[in-house]
Amino acid sequence: MNSHQLFRRSRTRLALWYALVMGAILSLSGLGMYRSLVQSNWTAMEREMESIAGTLHDSLEPMLPTSGDPTTVLQQIFPELCLAGQPCNTNPTLIQRHTTGISDRSIYYIRLFDHQGTLLAFSPNQPPSLLKTLNRSPWQTFHAANGIRYHQFTTILHSAHAHHQANEPSTHPSWGYLQIGRTLKTFDAETKRIQWILVIGFPIALLLVGFSSWWLSGLAMQPIYQSYQQQQQFTANAAHELRSPLASLLATVEAILRLPPSNQHSIPVMLQTVERQGRRLSHLIADLLFLTSLEQNSSPKPFQPCCLNDLISDLTEEFLELATIADIHLTHQIPNHDVYVLGNESQLYRLVSNLIANAIQYTPNGGQVVVSLTTRDRMALITVKDTGIGIAAVEQTRIFDRFYRVDSDRSRKTGGTGLGLAIAQAIAIKHQARIKVESQVDQGSIFTVELATVFG
């Protein structure tokens, strides 16, 4: 399985897990929201029914008779209601419609029972085939013959004189019962509407989650894939760089082993070649280890104030001999006041030395390299300017990559490993600094390092 298939498979798994988790969350959220909406509507409906029943209860009790036939009294109190066993007026007058205090008569109905549970009066719009016997449960929900659900509330009624006869023996504890009922047609329609919203909306939401999970998994895998590609490229480059000196070493050793006794005087020269290639390998491995330690921050030592004036002076003096051999004029320009920054002095030393070494390496004989230090807006600017071969604009974005060389042949002759600028960039990142490059082909380059000053 190649890397592309591996990452595509990982992306698919990540997208599936994301979709499953989000689907479960959406399912639980939708179910909870559905139950919450239905329960809140049901509770609001029951409170409304209790409020209507309480209003009627408080209006009825003062007018209820303690004895005698209540039919005449009920007909006076509720002219809208139908009396049991008598013809019912299904077209009440406007005044009669508002007698019960119920605004929507098409939804609610009223029923009155005596203390024995006998039906006395009822609304004309009560459900068909409703039993005439009393169910004393406070709340009941049932299906009528027409298939519509109804919900009703039952409360006890006392006569006005019952409170004054509390000490007298009573044959029954109440005058009768009041039932307030309503159709659940609108409630069921609203519940079904919510269900349809969930049924239609949930698959759409899952589809959107699927697309977004695939897109987000791609975004999540992209830096990993890029890092993997960089790691592969680094491994290939490192193997390529190590192969040349190793091949040279093996060839030299084999030549030494095959030398006849008469040519033993050639051994020192060959050993020098072995030593040179061994040093090159050692420098390459040391640079790789140093670069790895920078990126992993394996030695997090606290930063200390570093004087950049002394650092640049020491580096200029150190590289002066190399510049003289290459017939390059190396100078430095530093301010009279000391400039301090927080950092690791040895790493900053390595950063600037790599820039100076590159400037000398890519500057032809008779050229000039100037290292300067200036300050601006609490920033220290270290500038390395040369009159070398320059860098093309298309290559300036790649010069900080590992093993990348602008002039491969020349750098190999001078012993470069292609890690100098990569190490400089890693050190700059660790010190929260920035390296800028300005260059033109055949006219030279200017590398600038910006560091935050501490004092001085």
Q: What is the pLDDT of residue 132?
A: 81
276-286 burial, b at 16+ Cβ within 10 Å, e below that, comes to ebeebbeebee
CATH number of 3-192: 3.40.50.300, 3.40.640.10, 3.30.450.20, 1.10.1040.10?
Answer: 3.30.450.20
Query: Whole-angstrom Cα distance, residue 147 to residue 446?
Result: 89
Tokens of 375: 């300050």
Do the domains 302-452 and 3-192 match in fold? no
- CB within 8 A of 67, min separation 6: which ones? none
**Residue tagged 């491994």 (tokens):** 235
How many Å from the N-terminal Cα to the C-terminal Cα in the chain? Answer: 59
Length of the chain, please?
A: 456
Q: What is the pLDDT of residue 290?
A: 77
The helix (H) or strand (E) run that includes residue 221 is: helix 185-257
Residues of the chain with pLDDT under 50: 94-100, 163-171, 408-414
CA proximity to 395, closest of 445, 352, 453: 445
302-452 under CATH 3.30.565.10, yes or no: yes
What is the three-class DSSP state of 372? Answer: strand
- CB within 8 A of 122, min separation 6: which ones? 81, 82, 84, 109, 110, 111, 112
Q: Any alpha helices (H) in 258-398, and if so which ranges?
A: 267-296, 308-325, 345-361
Task: Sheet containing 82-83: give its strands across.
Answer: 82-83, 119-122, 108-114, 176-183, 149-157, 139-143
Cβ–Cβ contacts within 10 Å for residue 52, how many? 19
Contact present, 384 and 369 (Cβ < 8 Å):
yes
Helix axes 267-296, 185-257, angle to 10 degrees: 160
- Give the type of residue at 212: S
Tokens of 182: 């309503």
Tokens of 381: 């600017």
Tokens of 339: 């400039």
Query: Whole-angstrom Cα distance, residue 180 to residue 105?
Result: 11
CA proximity to 449, closest of 392, 402, 385, 363: 385
Cβ–Cβ contacts within 10 Å for residue 14, how many? 17
Q: What is the pLDDT of residue 302?
A: 82
Enumerate the domain spans of the chain. 3-192, 302-452
Query: Whole-angstrom Cα distance, residue 144 to residue 203?
Result: 35
* Neighbouring-strand partners of residue 83: 121
Cβ–Cβ contacts within 10 Å for residue 226, how many? 10
DSSP letters spanning 154-177: EEEE--TTTGGGTTS--SSS-SEE
| Pairing mode of beta strands 379-386, 340-343 | unpaired
Q: Taking the CA atoms of the chain, what radius of gyration do you get in angstroms?
A: 48
